């Protein structure tokens, strides 16, 4: 169970190996890695910079992780999210969950990435042709969060 | 009270953090937003565009009817776009 916010890139293979090391009760690991896309809104990006709210970001990721742990029987979980300047192709975020069985791992992994997209205090600034632009939030992300609430009868906050 | 601004709200207000004395008649996030709008006209413009300014009090997401008090850390920011 861990949350990390860092400027440095990360190695997905190494992170997943470390996540499951020493726990042979784990039957499966699900992971999602978000990457910087070269094309956004029809233009080519040269870089992306993520601003965040130091302190709250870590707290919010920990809250999202705690929510997943309350809903699914997980043996291990990890959220790594970068901030600062990144180039196309570089990893931005890694979410990984491990459980005895695949459903808990797959569902909780999808839940974590959906929830952190609407709650974790990050803001993307895309630089490329025509200058820099702040990325606008997608209603589809809010809708994904709403779906998780409805699925569990939870309250929308 | 410490006020933080992020992303384009930080750019428009021209400040990332400031300390203000909370007026006696400001009790909620909504009232605080009105007060700050008088200090930063660009902030008031952003607030007028419904829904694009979000708020956290003491590092928790809150709605605009949430109470505020001197000593709180209050942050204003656009909807988040991480992940």
Query: Any idea what the CATH number is for the domain that residue A51 is in?
Result: 3.90.1170.40
Q: Is residue A29 part of a domain?
A: yes
Contacts of B83 in chain A (CB under 8 A): 34, 81, 92-93, 113, 116-117, 120, 122, 141
Q: Which of A33-42, A101-110, A115-124 has the lowest mean pLDDT?
A: A33-42
Cβ distance of B7 and A116 shorter than 8 Å: no
Chain B residue with minimum CA distance to A136? B81
Is A138 or A118 the better-scoring residue by pLDDT? A118
Chain B residue with minimum CA distance to A139? B79
Interface test mutation site (partner B, options A31, A48, A51, max chain B beta carbons within 10 A): A51
Q: Is residue A156 part of a domain?
A: no
- Domain of A54 in residue numbering reads as 2-151
Closest by CA to A120, choosing from A71, A76, A47, A67, is: A67
Between the CA atoms of A36, A87, A134 and A132, what dihedral angle is there, to the nearest 10 degrees?
A: -140
CB atoms within 10 A of CB A12: 13
- pLDDT for A19-66, tens place per residue? 999 999 999 999 999 999 999 888 899 999 999 999 999 999 999 999
- pLDDT exceeds 80 at position B41: yes
ipTM associated with this complex: 0.94
Contacts of B82 in chain A (CB under 8 A): 50, 52, 81, 92-93, 116-117, 120-124
Chain A residue with minimum CA distance to B63? A157
CA-based nearest distance A36→chain B, Å: 10
Q: Which of A121-125, B38-42, B55-59 has the lowest mean pLDDT?
A: B38-42
Distance CA A137, CA A151 (A): 23
Inter-chain Cβ pairs, chain A and chain B, closer than 8 A = 74
Total domains in the fold of chain A:
1
Class of domain B16-77: alpha beta
Is B54 or B52 the better-scoring residue by pLDDT? B54
What is the token pair recorded at B50?
């419904």
Distance CA A46, CA B55 (A): 31
Question: What CA–CA distances, in Å, run from A70 to A15, A26, A99?
Answer: 23, 18, 13
Contacts of A59 in chain B (CB under 8 A): 59-60
Q: Facing residues of A32 across strands?
A: A95
Q: Is residue A27 part of a domain?
A: yes
- pLDDT exceeds 60 at position A156: no
A152 pLDDT band (50/70/90 cuts)?
low
In the block, residue with structure tokens 């990325």:
A135
């Amino acid at each position: 169970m861990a949350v990390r916010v860092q400027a440095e890139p990360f190695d997905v293979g190494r992170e997943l190996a470390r996540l499951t090391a020493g726990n042979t009760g784990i039957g499966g690991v699900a992971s999602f890695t978000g990457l910087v896309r070269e094309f956004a809104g029809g233009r080519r990006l040269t870089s992306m910079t993520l601003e965040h709210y130091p302190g709250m970001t870590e707290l919010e990721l920990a809250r999202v992780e705690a929510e997943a742990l309350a809903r699914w029987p997980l043996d291990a979980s990890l959220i790594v999210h970068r901030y600062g300047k990144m180039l196309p192709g570089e990893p931005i975020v890694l979410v990984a969950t491990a459980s005895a069985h695949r459903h808990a791992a797959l569902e909780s992994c999808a839940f974590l990435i959906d929830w952190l997209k609407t709650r974790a205090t990050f803001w993307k600034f895309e630089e490329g042709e025509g200058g820099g632009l702040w990325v606008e939030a997608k209603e589809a992300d809010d809708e994904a969060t709403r779906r998780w609430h409805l699925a569990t009868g939870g309250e929308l906050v | 009270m410490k006020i933080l601004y992020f992303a384009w709200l930080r750019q428009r207000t021209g400040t990332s953090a400031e300390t203000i004395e909370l007026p006696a008649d400001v009790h909620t996030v909504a009232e605080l937003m009105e007060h700050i709008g008088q200090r930063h006209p660009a902030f008031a413009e952003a607030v007028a565009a419904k829904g694009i300014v979000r708020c956290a009090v003491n590092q928790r997401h809150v709605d605009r009817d949430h109470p505020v008090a001197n000593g709180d850390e209050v942050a204003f920011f656009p909807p988040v776009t991480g992940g």
